[in-house]
Amino acid sequence: MKILVTGGLGFIGSHTVVELQNEGFEVVIIDNCSNSSTEVLKGITKITGQEPVLEIFDLREKEKVQDFFKRHTNIKGVIHFAASKAVGESVEKPLLYYENNITTLVYLLQQLQEQEAANFIFSSSCTVYGQADELPITENAPVKAAESPYGNTKQIGEEIIQDTCKVTPNVKAISLRYFNPIGAHPSAKIGELPLGVPQNLIPFITQTAIGLREQLSVFGDDYPTSDGTCIRDYIHVVDLAKAHVVALQRLLQDKNTSNYEVFNVGTGTGSTVLEVITSFEQVSQQKLNYKIVGRRDGDVIAAYADTTKANQELGWKAKSGLEDSLDSAWKWEQKVRQTK
């Protein structure tokens, strides 16, 4: 069964491709390599023993999207990762985010509307909740005005999918609202490797520990938390990848209760930035050079998931804890630098 994974060379996408292939799916990847590398394809192939089909183009080019679906008429499901994803950058470059994250989604859905049956998994985010009134956050929490253009693109994306499903019964979709993916595949053959300066905490931590970055900035220590730093729910990327596979299987097996559903994907445990730093230092035996700086625009105080719905309806639960996730990220970082 053929599945399209957009952004399949990216961090979460590549791990999901591995889990899909482990379950016997045939995978086709579309990626423009703007924040990834074709080297990732080699890692996927080494892990699974099979090389997914890769097409390199930008989903903002409508004609190429149309051409792809004309050539691949037997796509049974689409998992859509391709998007810009950094909160801070989105504040600085909002139009880039609206173009890249919204236009591409519309072009994909237009093609799926023309199919007899289409199954769609959307890479959404806990950012749709903003600063939630209650913790942990359930799927029933109100979607608040976004704190960043990135978060807004996820809100708008969900609304576009929901509106499409209302008028197109043949399109079934699930939005997975996930929290903070970290870690790497246990084989250390694929992991998070952003091009340029990392926008996320964990790769900046590992790059600082390995000596690539001089200093780690902690954005704010005056939040109303136990140590003044932000709280996030850090989920191992392999656990997250497996959630995409079980969500897809739910659609393929027609077990969904409506043609549009939403699930939180996280661990259910929140950790402060300083707790993450301390845990990493213990796991890696490395002392991190970090500095407290001012708050960053777009950051909420705390966000961690209530995953009851995913546990019960998808039969999915995160298995790895924070230390295991950080350990795999550190092993990946060490391997990457050894080979460069």
Catalytic residues: 150
| C-alpha to C-alpha distance for 154 and 83, rounded to whole angstroms | 10
- Amino acid type, 297: D
Residue 179, helix vs strand vs coil: coil
| C-alpha to C-alpha distance for 303 and 134, rounded to whole angstroms | 9
- Tokens 């077990």 locate to 255
Smallest CA-to-CA distance from 181 within 121, 239, 264, 101 is with: 239
E strand segments, 63-157:
75-80, 118-125
Name residue 262's beta-bridge partners. 175
Say if residues 39 and 65 touch (Cβ distance below 8 Å).
no
Smallest CA-to-CA distance from 128 within 189, 188, 78, 176 is with: 176
Smallest CA-to-CA distance from 89 within 137, 130, 38, 35 is with: 35
